Structure 1
Amino acid sequence: MVIDALEASEHGKAEKAVRINAVGSGLEYDDLNVVLHSTRLQAIVIPKVQSAHDIQFVVRMIDSVAPELNRANIRLLASIESGLGILNLREIATADPRVDALVFAAEDFCTDLGLIRTPSRKEMLYARQAVVTAASAFGLQAIDLVCVDYLSDSILEEECREGCEFGFTGKQAIHPKQVEIIQRMFLPDPANIARAAKILEGYEAHSQKGVGAFNLDGKMIDLPVVKWADKIVARAKAASVEIPGSSTAGERETKKG
């Protein structure tokens, strides 16, 4: 059924990922043996990832089963659902170059630790920030928890806003009606896009003169701020949002520093 859906789908802007059963469940081998034969498979969601071993098992399957031309293109999304997964974030994030995202699964995490799920989500603050920190450190996407109140648009918007503020780059959906809101809420704010474009224009002008930090609208702009602006513009461009100002904004990688 899944393989039929993959083969019948058209390539587009939306990526197509298949969630397999967890490594160690006894079902993962059969799942991978089927879906990896599809040349349209773009990503695999690996649930309940506890260590690099789980990633490496999937990688070995990819390299032995998937069509050779597609092996390097299959991206891996590691779902973190336990205390051990949080403690092993570094090794999970660096287990293979095909790891593309860390996903935080709230319900299983709370069950694993015996936490009481509350509307404030305060009981998961450390774990969520740990996922964002590891993802950012190793250049991965960070995908936030699902909103279980799927009938409430306002609660979903509040969770999306909080996720953006925490540094998550996306959010899981539990119902199709949530997708539009999530996509809209995770777009950079228009005011931030305009500000970021202005910062990048100023950076280009001043760097040509050999000037590092500069003043813009009464605020000091230095390299960390420029890097923030680059990320905002890159996210906006990825969503086909028009960028005001310079056409080169976001097309340059700022120096590490």
Structure 2
Amino acid sequence: MTKSVHPGEVLLGAQAGAVTLPVCDHYSGVEARMKKSLALQAEMAEEFGACVFDVTLDCEDGAPVGGEAEHAALVTELALAARPGMRVGVRVHPVDHPAFAGDVITIAGRAGHRLSHLMVPKVESVADVVQAVAALEAADADALPLHVLIESPLAVHNAFEIAAHPRVQSLSFGLMDFVSAHAGAIPADGMGAAGQFTHPLVVRAKLAIASAAHAYGKVPSHCVVTEFNDTGAMRMAARKAATEFGYTRMWSIHPNQIRPILEAFAPDEAQIQIATKIITNAALADWAPTQIDGTLHDRASYRHFWQVLTRAHATGRALPPEAKAWFALAAS
């Protein structure tokens, strides 16, 4: 490290202390799978030297009808028992579901201090966010970040207003419900790994959500790929989400999908080396414009390459010593 001023402080300003979320958000709702997901999270944290994916325990799809309260209690116990330092979230029921209030009281009320986030599905407008925030405050969990799931044409229309709410940390796209909300106007292949990147209405929704998230400094999280045994399809979808659609995070619904997501969203070795060189030279130049390998760089490009290194760190990639030093300083 060549200067005492941290790159994030110089280049990101007020956003220097913003939370950087893992690029993969892994969902499970059945007891045995939730336990396996938490065990895998701990194992991979040892392998990578960092918690490289979130585990979101699912009440909406995981709880049996009539057993919502029991499932909420189970999820709470699993979250409280998770290994320290791991990121564990919970997806509760929608705000208009009869189980929503009980979910929040049980889960956020008892384990809010342990959770990384609370995911609220089927958010249609900022009024739903306000209702969720009020429920968290009533449960004394007013510091718990909210993630929201955008799943309908109306929600896409309201995405910018939703993203602007200060308690919202991330916006996810709910592909399956979005397609089914169109009364058959979008064919079934619009839910597939390939079709979701070609149908105009789905593409428009994805871009709107990513744009809304970036407009307010929030994290856009890409939707599921249901063909979980097709590794090639998973890699293709994750790569498109990361490089063409502006997403910095993606859902996993099967353990087979976690590593392909990490690989797709992580910078490769060449990008890491270039970013390290540019940021090192920028620090030496006291962040003034400088020429590197025949190309002029200034704070706009420095910001981009610092974010490349931040993503590399978040995905557990090996960093050159000088880049490691910056992250060691940030953690101290």
Query: Do these two structures clear the TM 0.5 threshold for a shared fold by scoring above it?
Result: yes
Partner SS, residue 267 of structure 2: coil
1:192 Cα deviation from its structure 2 partner = 1.2
CA distance in 2, matches of 1:135, 1:251: 28
Partner SS, residue 109 of structure 2: coil
In structure 2, the partner of 1:177 is 256
1:219 Cα deviation from its structure 2 partner = 2.2
Match status 1:9 vs 2:79: no
1:3 Cα deviation from its structure 2 partner = 1.5
In structure 1, the partner of 2:14 is none
1:6 Cα deviation from its structure 2 partner = 1.6
In structure 1, the partner of 2:229 is 151
**Root mean square deviation of aligned Cα:** 2.2
Partner SS, residue 214 of structure 2: helix
1:240 Cα deviation from its structure 2 partner = 4.0
1:222 Cα deviation from its structure 2 partner = 2.8
Q: 1:31 aligns with which of 76, 81, 103?
A: 103
Closer, same or farther: CA 216–169 of 1 in aligned 2, 3 Å: same
CA distance in 2, matches of 1:42, 1:245: 29
1:49 Cα deviation from its structure 2 partner = 0.9
AA in 2 matched with 1:3: T
Q: 1:99 aligns with which of 161, 168, 183?
A: 168
Q: Is the 8 A contact 2:262 2:315 kept in 1?
A: no
AA in 2 matched with 1:133: S
State the identity %: 26
Partner SS, residue 162 of structure 1: helix
In structure 2, the partner of 1:224 is 300
What is the correspondence of 1:67-216 to structure 2 with a 5 Å cutoff?
70-72=141-143, 74-95=144-165, 97-113=166-182, 114-116=185-187, 117-118=189-190, 119-120=194-195, 121-123=197-199, 124-165=202-243, 166-207=245-286, 211-212=288-289, 214-216=290-292
AA in 1 matched with 2:75: V
**Which consecutive unaligned segments of at least 5 residues does structure 1 have?**
253-257
CA distance in 1, matches of 2:157, 2:327: 34
Partner SS, residue 100 of structure 1: strand
Q: Is the 8 A contact 1:233 1:249 kept in 2?
A: no
TM-score by length of 2: 0.68
1:249 Cα deviation from its structure 2 partner = 5.1
CA distance in 2, matches of 1:245, 1:174: 35
TM-score by length of 1: 0.87
Listed one character per residue, the Cα deviations across residues 60-115 of structure 1 (whole Å, up to 9, x for unaligned) are: 1111113xxx531x1111111011111111211122x3311010111111111332
Partner SS, residue 252 of structure 2: coil
Listed one character per residue, the Cα deviations across residues 176-212 of structure 1 (whole Å, up to 9, x for unaligned) are: 221222123222222111111111112222336xx42
AA in 2 matched with 1:109: F
AA in 2 matched with 1:217: D
Q: Is the 8 A contact 1:201 1:249 kept in 2?
A: no
Q: Which has the higher contact order (CA 8 A, sep 6+)?
A: 2
CA distance in 1, matches of 2:108, 2:286: 48
Listed one character per residue, the Cα deviations across residues 190-249 of structure 1 (whole Å, up to 9, x for unaligned) are: 2111111111112222336xx42x322222323321111011111222334332263465
AA in 1 matched with 2:214: S
